A = this chain, B = another copy of it.
Amino acid sequence: MGKIITIGRQFGSGGREFGKRLSDELGYRYIDKEIICEIAKETSLSEGYVSNIIENSPESVYSISYARTLSFGDNYYLNQMRSVYSAQNDIINKFAQRENCVIIGRCADYILRNMNPYRIFVYASIESRVARCINRAENSENINLNELRKNINNVDKNRSRYYEFYTGMEWGNIENYDLCINTSGRIIKDLVPVVAKMLV
């Protein structure tokens, strides 16, 4: 069984970069999109479809309480969504059994709760997240700021619903994490080596 670090993150907060750098700093395996690839293999669904199910929170088409009352077979899409979650569960467990790793998102903190992962949540002010998205964009001059703000909020709303649906817990609530770090105005490259020292 490896040492596990899980990273929850607001969209645009730099959480993915934080996780990647942390895995490099500690020499841990970085696990992010490879989960989607593995799920696609296990479920025979396309990677794009799996990614859509995971990233776009299809349960947002149902209310959480309604979706919970449905049993398997009631609804084809819901059924498939649950198969993907179940495959994801197996795959995350397999990775975690095998070696030390940093896992981005996907309720890994909850899925691996019996392995005592170190659970980090990365967040930032909306202004800082907008700025980070613009810096990252290829054609930043074409960005509509209002649209961008709306998109950021939508992605996080989906992440929050997805997390709540599968874990019954509140996404971004301190109680569910060991460290919550605000990246507003901070350089992630400089933060990571310090945080790494907390973990060894």
Interface residues of chain A, those whose CB is within 8 Å of chain B, are 121, 123, 125, 172-175, 177-182, 184, 191, 194, 197-198
Contact = CB atoms under 8 A, between A and B. Distances in A.
B182 A182 contact: no
Contact of A172 (B174, B181, B194, B198): B174
Given A172-B174, A174-B174, A179-B180, 4 more contacts: A123-B174, A178-B182, A179-B179, A194-B194
Nearest to A178: B182
Contact of A197 (B123, B173, B174, B197): B197
B198 A191 contact: yes
A175 B191 CA distance: 19
A187 to B, nearest CB: 11
A77 B175 CA distance: 35
A136 to B, nearest CB: 22
Nearest to A198: B194
A31 to B, nearest CB: 23
A198 B197 CA distance: 11
Contact of A180 (B125, B174, B184, B198): B174
Contacts of A123: 174-175
A179 B181 contact: yes
Contact of A121 (B174, B178, B191, B198): B174
